Amino acid sequence: MMSITPDAVNKSSDAATMPKPLALADVPAEKMPRHIAIIMDGNGRWASHRGLPRIEGHRRGADVVRCITEECARLGLEQLTLYCLSSENWKRPVEEIAFLMQLLELYMAGERPLIMEQNIRVSVIGRREGIFESALREMDQTVTMSAQNTGMRLCLAINYGSRTELVDACRHIAHEVRSDRLCPDEITEETIAANLYTAGMPEPDLLIRTAQEMRVSNFLLWQISYAEIWVTDLFWPEFDEALLHTAIRDFASRDRRFGGLGKAN
Ligand code: IPE
Ligand code: IPE
Ligand code: MG
């Protein structure tokens, strides 16, 4: 297995401190998404198409995570949620899993200065079981250190599966009922939402998926009920700020009806 150097995820970015021209000035503030969620797919295929090992794709994917996080914070988004590892991804070869754990550890440690500099609050959703101890340590430290930050929330879905999230929520609600703290008839949509890992977070307005697939792969099934979906054929390592702007412009042009009647009526 190839090893990764801290440089791979710890490039100090001069661009982060340089003022940039205001992107998306043409999009009215009320048309901007508050919360974007991304299924970052296609790292392996990006690498395979170049005759590189799959892990090269993950390494490049981590660079894109930095770039897109920075841009979303700069645009003033309230939240960015990134699907980093699904509860089904454990089916992959042990070498790939080991690399992803190593990358996670280095990302959590290496990105801390940039996260603090950009006033980003990091949250993690998913089950802790299976995540390597060394990665958990760095993850916890980044979450704790950034907890008081007041800028964009960066929510990382790691060992996340929407079905396990719903199972965990049901278990918790069942315990509440059994101990007479909750009456079954009082269970509402708000009760469910408040028992998900994402309790207190806004629902995604825009769901982006890279690498062509037209599926949600067990991601935020409850929370994306009314998200606008935007897909691209490009692989995650090819995703960039310009493409993010394209997705946001497309989102801004849509008529979100939420089951009601649109503007044309
Ligand atoms: C997404 O890229 C990253 C993870 C799921 C960890 P993939 O690794 O799924 O890349 P493809 O879809 O096989 O190309
Ligand atoms: C979804 O990608 C999970 C992440 C991006 C972390 P997958 O590559 O695991 O999804 P499938 O297997 O194509 O549905
Ligand atoms: Mg994939």
Cα of 249 from ligand 3 centre, angstroms: 26
Question: In whole angstroms, what is the distance from residue 137 CA to residue 146 CA?
Answer: 14
Per residue in 161-182, pLDDT tens? 999 999 999 999 999 999 999 9
Among 131, 217, 220, residue to substitute to test ligand 2 (most atoms within 8 Å of Cβ): 217
Which residues make Cβ contacts (< 8 Å) with residue 84, sequence separation at least 6? Answer: 40, 104, 156, 157, 158, 160
Give the position, in ligand 1's atom list, of the atom nearest the Cα of 46: 14
Q: Look up residue 198 and give its amino acid.
A: T
Ligand nearest to the CA of 44: 1
The CATH H-level (homologous superfamily) assignment of domain 31-161+203-253 is Decaprenyl diphosphate synthase-like (3.40.1180.10)
Mean pLDDT of the chain: 93
Token representation of residue 103:
């990358």
Which comes out higher in pLDDT, residue 29 or 2? Answer: 29
C-beta 26 within 6 A of ligand 2: no
Q: What pLDDT, on the 0 to 100 scale, is given for residue 2?
A: 46
What is the average pLDDT across 112-124? 98
* Nearest CA, atom 13, ligand 1: 44
Per residue in 48-74, pLDDT tens? 999 999 999 999 999 999 999 999 999
Task: Note whether 227 and 206 are within 8 A (CB).
Answer: yes
Cα of 53 from ligand 1 centre, angstroms: 12
Question: In whole angstroms, what is the distance from residue 9 CA to residue 107 CA?
Answer: 6
Token representation of residue 93:
């070869």
Ligand nearest to the CA of 85: 2
What is the average pLDDT across 16-20? 52
Q: Is the pLDDT of residue 156 over 80?
A: yes
Q: Name the residue among 192, 75, 141 with its Cα closest to residue 67.
A: 75
Question: In whole angstroms, what is the distance from residue 190 CA to residue 237 CA?
Answer: 37
**Tokens 């700069």 belong to residue:** 74
Supply the DSSP symbol for 82: E
What is the average pLDDT across 1-16? 48
Per residue in 202-234, pLDDT tens? 999 999 999 999 999 999 999 999 999 999 999
Cα of 41 from ligand 2 centre, angstroms: 6
H/E stretch holding 118 reads none
CB atoms within 10 A of CB 163: 11
C-beta 157 within 6 A of ligand 2: no
Which residues make Cβ contacts (< 8 Å) with residue 181, sequence separation at least 6? Answer: none
For the chain, give the number of residues. 265
Q: What pLDDT, on the 0 to 100 scale, is given for residue 18?
A: 53
**What are the boundaries of each domain within the chain?**
31-161+203-253
Give the position, in ligand 1's atom list, of the atom nearest the Cα of 85: 6
Q: Which of the residues are catalytic?
A: 41, 89
Burial class (CB in 10 A: 0-12, 13-18, 19+), 45: middle
C-beta 85 within 6 A of ligand 2: yes
Which residues make Cβ contacts (< 8 Å) with residue 45, sequence separation at least 6? Answer: 57, 211, 235
H helical segments located in 80-132: 94-110, 112-117
Confidence of residue 32 (pLDDT cuts 50, 70, 90): very high
Q: Name the residue among 131, 161, 166, 125 with its Cα closest to residue 143.
A: 125
Cα of 142 from ligand 3 centre, angstroms: 26
Q: Name the residue among 81, 84, 71, 39 with its Cα closest to residue 244.
A: 71
